[in-house]
Amino acid sequence: MIPVAEELDLKKAAKACGEKAIAMIKQKELLPLTGYVHGGCSRVGMKKPFPTYIHESAILYERMFVSAGKVGYQIELAPDDLAGAAKASFAALV
């Protein structure tokens, strides 16, 4: 999870999860793999558990908005609450 105005650094993301390299899921594979459509993909409520990382800048904020799993739906919560619910870690990702 990264700030909306940023771009994921795949090398930093790979380092965060202990991999040599990673790649984005192809859009056509998103729905079958996660159960979500492009634009509505969120770790919140995802049907399968995936390792999840939140950009470290999130800890600077009291509250944040993230996708609620459906296009046009967001939820507001504290970064630590999101990390707990998503079983996520904070890392440098951008």
Query: Residue 72 and residue 74: Cα distance in Å, rounded?
Result: 7
Residue with tokens 């650094």: 9
**8 burial via Cβ count (<10 Å: 0-12, 13-18, 19+):** middle
Count structural domains, the chain: 1
What is the SS3 assignment for 13?
A: helix
Is residue 41 one of the residues assigned to a domain?
A: yes
- Full-prediction pTM beyond 0.95? no
**CATH number of the domain enclosing 55:** 3.90.960.10
Q: Is 72 a member of any domain? A: yes
Answer whether residue 3 is part of any domain. no
Q: Is residue 60 part of a domain?
A: yes
For residues 17 and 37, the model is more confident at: 17
Q: What is the span of the domain harbouring residue 41?
A: 10-91
Element (H, E) at 90: strand 88-91
In a domain, 1, yes or no: no
Q: Does 5 reside within a domain?
A: no
Reported as a single tens digit per residue, the pLDDT across 19-76 is 999 998 888 888 888 777 777 677 776 777 788 999 999 999 999 998 887 778 889 9
Which tokens in the block code for residue 21?
């390299």
In a domain, 61, yes or no: yes
| 15 vs 74, higher pLDDT | 15
